[in-house]
Amino acid sequence: MKALDISRSIIRILLGAMFILSAVLKLITIDTFEAYVYSFHILSFTLAEVAARCLIALEFVTGCFLVAKTQYRWAWWVATLMTAGFTLFLVYVVLFRNDANCHCFGDLIPIEPLHSIYKNIAILALLVFAYKQPESRLFFSFHKDEETGRRVHIWEKDYSKKFKLWLLGISGGIAVVVLFILFPPNAVYSWVYSDNDRVATNLFDKAYADSSFYLKLSDAEYRADQDTVVFRSDTARLDMDRGNYVVAVISSGCKYCRQSCDLVNNIFERNKLDNNRLKMLVWGGDESIAHFMKETKTWKYEFHQISPYLAIDLVYGSFPTFIFVSDGKVVDAFDYRGVSEGKIVEFLK
């Protein structure tokens, strides 16, 4: 029985260490993990950032409690239910998505969703094995045996309630400080320091000044014989220093972006507005962007390809967002529900 108890204790400690490692690796590549959570389009980007951090904190605290065997039954149930929930989620990913990495251990240790399911099944089996733990003691002292005269050590008492409360406070405090203060959610940080509640104006100013943030898609044209749009990519500055412009921040795979840009294109054509006054900041692959241009007939406008992380941070993950820019500065912004012919024509004319 003693060997079995020792084995269970070792498994418990290793499982706890694994949960801590998983949390730390997710934190190291937090931007990618946030984007992955957001990619399911269940939460807004701001909520996705908060949810990602709460999940990391839960893993970290659960791991600490498993290692220290503090509030062990609660920690065991949280670890088991969390692992089971992740497994069901991964089944959905395998069936309906084609993800190369489930981000269970961030980007540093990529694992395919199917392989991660096998991993989680093994973890659940080990958790069941480690459920029953030997009685824990924290303090021991030396006493003299009256019969033999030898000094022996005896355990004095179990983990104290005070120690458990301290561990809960310290591990929880570390998680909150690291995740929400040292690594604050970008959307929340940008919103606090932004002049606009739809656009991170400080990030917009930085990206506008540095053309390395994006690529210009030049010489775009529709080829009827191939039924596609072709273009070339180069680094070129987005020039809006003088005059008024409408900037669309869009995702090439977003149906609302397609519908809105099709509407804006019709507004420009009907009112004979200068095509140069509409700028498209788009994220997506070349093939997806070409398809977007063809579907919306917008290849005549100036497109700039930007990274998904910049796009998400710039507009707090809300696509599409249309920005009114005057002399290089953001003056207003609205989503697809706010597209108004009169508003756009008045601003540009």
Task: Give the per-residue pLDDT at 107.
Answer: 83
Tell me, what's the pLDDT at 140?
46
Terminus-to-terminus CA distance in the chain, angstroms?
85
pLDDT digits (tens, 9 = 90+) for 182-229: 766 665 555 555 566 789 888 898 888 887 777 888 778 888 877 778
Task: Name the one residue in this structure whose structure tokens are 């692959």.
Answer: 285
pLDDT-wise least confident of 1-15, 42-56, 137-151? 137-151
Band of pLDDT at residue 156, cut at 50, 70 and 90: very low
Cα distance between residue 202 and residue 182, in whole Å: 19
Range 319-342 average pLDDT: 90
Tokens representing residue 91 in the block: 């089944």
Instruction: Show the domains of the chain with their CATH numbers.
Output: 2-141+152-184 (no CATH), 201-348 (3.40.30.10)
Q: How confident is the model at residue 100 (pLDDT cuts 50, 70, 90)?
A: confident
Which has more pLDDT, 2 or 114? Answer: 114
Neighbours of 114 (CB within 10 A): 13
Could you give the CA distance from residue 147 to residue 161 in angstroms, rounded to a whole number?
Answer: 35
| Local structure of residue 301 (DSSP, 8 states) | S
Where do runs of H (alpha helix) occur along the chain? 2-28, 30-38, 45-68, 72-96, 113-129, 161-177, 186-192, 201-209, 255-270, 286-296, 308-314, 341-348
Chain centroid to CA 267: 35
Share of the chain above pLDDT 90, in %: 32
Cα–Cα nearest to 332, from 324, 340, 344? 324
Tokens of 209: 């000044």
Average pLDDT over residues 129-139: 67
Cα separation, 250 vs 147, in Å, equals 84
Q: Are the beta carbons of 64 and 20 closer than 8 angstroms?
A: yes
Question: Quick check: 277 pLDDT over 80?
Answer: yes
Q: Provide the whole-model pTM.
A: 0.60
Residues 270, 345: contact at Cβ < 8 Å?
no
Cα–Cα distance measured from residue 314 to residue 199, given in angstroms and rounded to the nearest whole number:
6
The rounded mean pLDDT for the chain is: 83
Rg of the Cα atoms in the chain:
28
Give the tens place of pLDDT for each residue, 300-315: 999 999 988 889 889 9
Which is higher by pLDDT, 30 or 188?
30
